[in-house]
């Protein structure tokens, strides 16, 4: 009798298995179809590289950096006299030229600025646009590119017979700033530059001056870096008696301030002045000690 019930139970289990197998297979197929229809996981977003440089200035010239949206920068640039001017001039400290500037970022990519230099009593204004930004991850960009354009007006009074109308006093500068942050410590930048002068002092001098700038910074500590900058004037357009601008310096970051201490053979602090009017010989003591002080103010929140 027990064997009879055992046999019937086995037959019943086999019948149920045969009846439910198609349903299980169909459910498995539906699950696989749903998995196939689910969208593939999205790749990680490219991450922009931060702080290629700490300031909008390398030493004399600009960097690829722009302030954050709604940020205003107050910039004081100062140059003493040359070190080889002797003890009578306290090795240049008795003499000085200065530039005061204001810069404002309408967005993370667009910055405008104005300034006034005591050298040649020059007024200047510029626009910077960050076209590309170095990034890591999928579709990473290997470098940052910022476009720069400026106009400068010489307001100095002259006693010679040269006609200096308003248009003739204007000089224009154009740059493409290309930079790459190779590591947390090392950043390098190239600065192809065109300076257009509406007025030259001789017929032989060309209105357009071409230069190739190169520079970079090496971070020594969290708040301290070594900077270098050099502008090579192309021989075909190089003005007479003008030398290439060379500068070496340090950046010191202290919260909202960035102090930049440097030595350079260029007295001018804007592109038309240091790129086309540098006459000092760095290696013969025609060295100007100077500094830049940057102070950032957040005027509009994001």
Q: Residues 123-130: what's their mean pLDDT? A: 98
Tokens for 271, please give them.
């592109």
Domain assignment present for residue 4? The answer is: no
Distance of alpha carbon 99 from the chain centroid:
20
Domain assignment present for residue 173? The answer is: yes
Position 267 scores a pLDDT of 94
Position 3 scores a pLDDT of 45
Question: pLDDT tens for residues 147-176?
Answer: 999 999 999 998 887 888 999 999 999 999
Residue 273 region by backbone torsions, left for phi larger than 0, else alpha for psi between -120 and 50, else beta: alpha
Question: pLDDT tens for residues 50-87?
Answer: 999 999 999 999 999 999 899 999 999 999 999 888 88
Quickly list DSSP for 275-299: HHS----GGGT--EEEEEEEEEEE-
Domain assignment present for residue 23? The answer is: no
Domain assignment present for residue 14? The answer is: no
Position 226 scores a pLDDT of 97
Q: pLDDT tier at 177 (50, 70, 90 boundaries)?
A: very high
Position 32 scores a pLDDT of 44
Question: pLDDT tens for residues 227-252?
Answer: 999 999 999 999 989 999 999 999 99
Tokens for 162, please give them.
């040269």
Q: What angle do CA 275, 281, 287 make, to 5 degrees?
A: 85
Position 159 scores a pLDDT of 86
**Number of domains the chain contains:** 1
Mean pLDDT of the chain: 87
Position 172 scores a pLDDT of 98
Domain assignment of residue 69, given as a range: 48-294
Q: Residues 119-123: what's their mean pLDDT? A: 95
Share of the chain above pLDDT 90, in %: 67
Residue 26 has pLDDT above 70, yes or no: no
Which runs of consecutive H residues, i.e. helices, occur in 78-234? Answer: none
Domain assignment present for residue 1? The answer is: no
Q: What angle do CA 138, 140, 144 make, to 5 degrees?
A: 160
The CATH number linked to 94 is: 2.40.160.40
Domain assignment present for residue 13? The answer is: no
Domain assignment present for residue 83? The answer is: yes
Position 92 scores a pLDDT of 85
Q: pLDDT tier at 97 (50, 70, 90 boundaries)?
A: very high
Residue 288 has pLDDT above 90, yes or no: yes
Share of the chain above pLDDT 70, in %: 84
Position 147 scores a pLDDT of 98
Position 198 scores a pLDDT of 95
Q: pLDDT tier at 41 (50, 70, 90 boundaries)?
A: low
Other CB atoms within 10 Å distance of the CB of residue 156: 10
d(Cα 273, Cα 103) in Å, to the nearest integer? 19
Question: pLDDT tens for residues 184-233?
Answer: 999 999 999 999 999 988 888 899 999 999 999 999 998 999 999 999 99
- Tell me the range of 4-13, 94-103, 171-180 where mean pLDDT is highest: 171-180
Confidence (pTM) = 0.83
Domain assignment present for residue 92? The answer is: yes
Residue 107 has pLDDT above 90, yes or no: yes
d(Cα 269, Cα 97) in Å, to the nearest integer? 9
Distance of alpha carbon 202 from the chain centroid:
35
Q: Tokens 């470098």 belong to which residue?
A: 143
Radius of gyration of the chain (CA): 32
Q: Are 193 and 173 in contact (CB under 8 A)?
A: yes
Contacts of 32 (CB under 8 A, 6+ apart): none
d(Cα 124, Cα 136) in Å, to the nearest integer? 36
């Amino acid at each position: 009798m027990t064997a009879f019930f055992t046999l019937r139970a086995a037959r019943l289990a086999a019948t149920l298995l045969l009846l439910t197998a198609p349903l299980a297979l169909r459910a498995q197929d539906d699950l696989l179809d749903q998995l196939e229809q689910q969208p593939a996981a999205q790749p990680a977003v490219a991450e922009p590289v931060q702080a290629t440089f700490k300031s909008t200035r390398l030493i004399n010239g600009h960097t690829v950096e722009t302030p954050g949206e709604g940020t205003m920068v107050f910039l004081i640039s100062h140059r003493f006299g040359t070190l080889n001017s002797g003890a009578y001039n306290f090795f240049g400290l008795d003499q000085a030229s200065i530039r005061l500037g204001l810069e404002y970022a309408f967005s993370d990519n667009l910055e405008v600025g104005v300034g006034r230099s005591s050298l040649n009593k020059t007024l200047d204004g510029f626009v910077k646009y960050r076209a590309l930004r170095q990034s890591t991850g999928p579709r990473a960009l290997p470098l940052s590119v910022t476009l720069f354009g400026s106009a400068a007006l010489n307001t100095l009074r002259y006693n010679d017979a040269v006609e200096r109308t308003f248009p003739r006093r204007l000089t224009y500068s154009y740059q493409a700033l290309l930079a790459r942050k190779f590591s947390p410590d090392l950043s390098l930048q190239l600065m192809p530059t065109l300076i257009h002068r509406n007025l030259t002092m001789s017929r032989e001098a060309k209105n357009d001056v071409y230069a190739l700038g190169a520079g970079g910074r090496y971070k020594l500590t969290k708040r301290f870096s070594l900077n270098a900058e050099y502008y090579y004037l192309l021989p075909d357009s190089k003005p007479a008696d003008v030398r290439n601008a060379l500068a070496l310096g340090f950046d010191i970051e202290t919260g909202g301030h960035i102090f930049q201490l440097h030595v350079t053979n260029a007295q001018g602090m804007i592109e038309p002045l240091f790129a086309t009017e540098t006459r000092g010989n760095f290696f013969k003591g025609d060295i100007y000690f100077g500094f830049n002080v940057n102070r950032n103010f957040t005027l509009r929140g994001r």
